[in-house]
């Protein structure tokens, strides 16, 4: 499991909270997995079985930390959408983008929470998008304020301007060519990029949906 210090610290804090006592075993299972412990070690430490470990780890990976703090019925957390319901939700909003509308991730997140009828974390929502093939671009905290970020649907390179730029770079400097060393590749790449004229770049990346995006800000 991929872990971060922040996630581990959050779980440790929850384990100190008496209000989450009935969920402590779930939290401990996920904590130990994030810390790299094996199923066998967790079974010995917590006196649980392999199925319980797998179920809680899977729930955490799919729905985030909040899902471990909810009551379940019939083996499934009914406070969340099924995978099919998630697909239908995203499909509705994808149709809006195909019609020329610009949909931000924040708008999607707010719409999802409203439809769900309960609180939901952004981290869990990003996992939902990732689960359905949407690519996540996380802004760096020091990025200039005039740079915006958005998601694009999966398998749509024509909607990603940089893909078109790379296509032009390959055509100019790498088509049917072989290089002896990595340094030769890097030098060729640098020469091609430096030779790209501003007007060529503009003609490649100029798309109606990107113009609408920045005109609306």
**Torsion angle, alpha carbons of 84, 88, 94, 95, to 10:** 140
Helix residue spans in 20-147 (DSSP H): 24-34, 39-46, 50-63, 83-98, 105-116, 122-131
100-104, 125-129, 177-181: range with highest mean pLDDT: 177-181
What mean pLDDT do residues 75-95 have? Answer: 70
| pLDDT interval class at 100 (50, 70, 90) | low
pTM score > 0.85 for this model? no
What mean pLDDT do residues 91-98 have? Answer: 70
| Number of other CB atoms surrounding residue 3 within 10 Å | 14
CA distance 151 to 104: 8
pLDDT for 180 equals 87
| pLDDT interval class at 112 (50, 70, 90) | confident
Tokens found for residue 152: 């694009």
pLDDT for 28 equals 92
| pLDDT interval class at 139 (50, 70, 90) | very low
CA distance 115 to 179: 54
**Model confidence at 136: pLDDT above 50:** no
* Per-domain boundaries in the chain: 5-69, 81-155, 157-215
- Which range, of 12-16, 27-31, 171-175, 213-217, averages the lowest pLDDT? 213-217
Q: Which residues contact 176 (CB under 8 A, 6 or more apart)?
A: none
Q: What is the largest CA-CA distance in the chain?
A: 66
Averaged pLDDT of the chain: 77
**Model confidence at 91: pLDDT above 60:** yes
């Amino acid at each position: 499991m991929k872990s971060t210090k922040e996630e581990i610290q959050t779980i440790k804090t929850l384990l100190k909270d008496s209000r989450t006592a009935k969920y402590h075993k779930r939290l401990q299972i996920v904590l130990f997995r994030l810390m790299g412990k094996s199923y066998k070690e967790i079974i010995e430490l917590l006196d649980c079985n392999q199925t319980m470990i797998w179920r809680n780890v899977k729930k955490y990976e799919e729905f985030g930390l909040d899902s471990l703090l909810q009551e379940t019925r019939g083996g499934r957390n009914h406070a969340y959408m099924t995978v099919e319901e998630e697909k239908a939700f995203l499909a509705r909003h994808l149709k809006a983008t195909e019609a020329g509308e610009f949909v931000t991730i924040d708008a999607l997140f707010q719409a999802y929470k409203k439809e769900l009828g309960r609180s939901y974390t952004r981290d869990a929502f990003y996992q939902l998008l990732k689960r359905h093939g949407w690519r996540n671009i996380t802004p760096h905290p020091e990025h200039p304020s005039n740079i915006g970020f958005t998601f694009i649907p999966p398998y749509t390179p024509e909607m990603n301007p940089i893909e078109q730029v790379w296509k032009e770079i390959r055509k100019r400097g790498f088509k049917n060519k072989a290089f002896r060393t990595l340094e030769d590749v890097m030098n060729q790449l640098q020469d091609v990029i430096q030779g790209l004229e501003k007007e060529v770049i503009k003609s490649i990346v100029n798309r109606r949906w990107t113009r609408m995006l920045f005109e609306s800000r």
